[in-house]
Amino acid sequence: MCGIVGYIGKRDTQSVLIEGLKKLEYRGYDSAGIAVYTNNGLKITKATGRLANLEHKLEDAPLVGNAGIGHTRWATHGKPSDVNSHPHTDHSKKFSVVHNGIVENYLELKDELISQGYEFVSETDTEVISHLLAREYNGDIVTAVQKAISYMRGAFALGVLTEYEPDKLVAVRQASPLVIGIGDGENFIGSDIPALLNYTRKVYILNDGEMAVLTKDAVELMTIEGNFISREMINVDWDAVTAEKGGFAHFMLKEIHEQPKAYRDTMLGRIDESGRRIILPDLHLTEDKIRSINNVHVVACGTAYHAGLVGGAVIERLVRIPVMYDVASEYRYRSPLITPETLVIVVSQSGETADTLAALREAQANGAHVLAITNVVGSSIARDADDVINTLAGPEIAVASTKAYTSQLIAFYLFSLYLAQVRGTQTDDEIAHMIAAMHALPEQVESMLANVDAIKVYAEHIAKHEDLFFIGRGLDFAVAMEGSLKLKEISYIHSEAYAAGELKHGTLALIEEGIPVIALATQESVLEKTVSNIKEVKARGADVLALTHEEHVAGLLKSVDQAFAIPKTLSILTPALSVVPLQLLAYYASLARGNDVDKPRNLAKSVTVE
């Protein structure tokens, strides 16, 4: 998730671009840059770090002109650096492009362009686009853009300028958001509406497979095939704060709703075109090394640790390698048994978690190969690990993690299937079957997000309580721990998660008349046993909400007070669905108690001290 802006008109372009990028910095903040068509041709200034660094550069050498594009970056290909920052150009510096998304086949396109004599300077997928534009240009930038994108697979929103046609700004949308702003003698593009609100409230929303050609006096909408489109203009009545949150009341709710996109983005480019194999082209872990692994350690903190509990169980089930779990703050102090045949997987949303970074270094010092699963390219953990799988959730603003957690699950599923593929522990058909089920997950999450009324009502009910319990078995227990943490983090209700089979070992003493218990019952292999545990708490007066598959709701309602259904998927994939209603439950309970949902007390987004 990055932010792009563009302007063509009568104002000082640099100021418009910088103001627009400030409104989009929540979409990415590891680098920023602008390209402006000046009296001396296309000129570009970019800087690593927050937008303020770019502003400081421009104070000394402003870019003066009336057309330009800008970008604030959340890195996906290539570490944060000046050279990897956008805008990108071709070798002649006649074409400039900003890009939000992923060019899935950029490596093969890059190899082809290099063989044709084009020279690359960055590590990004975006630079491929600028060279394609240069190759395909034959006097018409619109045709060149259409030809370039015909070679590209993936997700992209583009802003394109060329020195050859300074009176045009071209915008394209394919699976990444893009908005066109309409002014008087000026027009705009932006990833989100907030970038435009200081200048106009009249917008067109581009749909996938559409593009726009902007001049200062007109906007033409068309399909990427060149068929012109007529569309009604929208008048935006949001205030700036609401617009920044995409119309949602809080960033947390927005990020919960962004999960289907995060699922798709994290899978993008990591499944072959046949849908039957996993491809992890950036992985340095050789197949021989994979075959030599005899144990796995999963190390993380908080929500990332809960993702690791699911991920480790998936590795054991699919790959048949023993997995040990540890919270990062304890790992290095207990002298873990590590050998060169140990694979250590560290998980961190920020890539800066101090305890996890220390655990990574301890593992490497003892000869282990370390794989990091993180959401921030170029973070300390990403730099120091031997291998990295970047989740592609984009920036997460709310303190309570939602889309970062579920993207970590997707990364674990992909990696586990890749290990199984190399080691031959799953057949080709079994792998293809699971991949097909993974492809269905985003739409299944969308279906749940469209039906939240029952969750809202139950959240208002539990908001009146001070204690609550979650129970579950197997993967359900791992998800119960995350659901409990979410509730505690933002509602401040005391909550505990227990393995349902452990209830007899003391926990039942805590069950009192009317106390809420949330029972996860999605795992078919232990469903009967889970129902028995539900009856135990119900017999002692608990008010029980069950979370289960649609087909089991009727049966469970004989034993519980309420039941919430999740769509049917493979048992091993249910955590990617069952956690979503628990996130919503925490959100609405916090709301009902009048708390600051996005900034809960005493918590920080990234824990960078031990």
Please identify every residue annotated as catalytic.
2, 605
DSSP string, 510-531: G--TT-EEEEEE--GGGHHHHH
Tokens representing 227? 């068929």
28: left (phi over 0), alpha (psi -120 to 50) or beta: left
402, 255 contact by CB (below 8 A): yes
**CA 588/CA 252 separation, integer angstroms:** 11
What are 179's two structure tokens? Answer: 């908005």
Secondary structure (DSSP) of 371-430: EEEESSTT-HHHHHSSEEEE-------SSS-SHHHHHHHHHHHHHHHHHHHHHT-S-HHH
Measured distance CA(185)–CA(214) in Å, rounded: 11
**Cα 31 to Cα 572: distance, rounded to the nearest angstrom:** 38
- Check residue 345 and give left, alpha or beta (phi > 0: left; psi -120 to 50: alpha): beta
Q: What is the DSSP-derived secondary structure letter of residue 540?
A: T
Nearest-angstrom CA–CA distance, 215 and 414: 44
**Closest to 483 measured CA to CA, from 513, 504, 451, 458:** 458
Q: What torsion, rounded to 10 degrees, do the Cα atoms 233, 158, 268, 411 define?
A: -90
Cβ atoms of 474 and 526 closer than 8 Å: yes
Residue (of 408, 448, 415, 426) closest to 308 by Cα position: 408
Burial 577-598 (b: 16+ CB within 10 A, else e): bbbbbbbbbbbbbbbbbebebb
Contact 41, 30 (CB under 8 A): no
Tokens in use for 219?
Answer: 């906007």
State whether residue 118 is helix, strand or coil: coil
Residue type (1 letter), 4: I
3-state secondary structure of 366: coil
524 touches 571 (CB < 8 A): yes
Q: Which residues contact 151 (CB under 8 A, 6 or more apart)?
A: 105, 109, 132
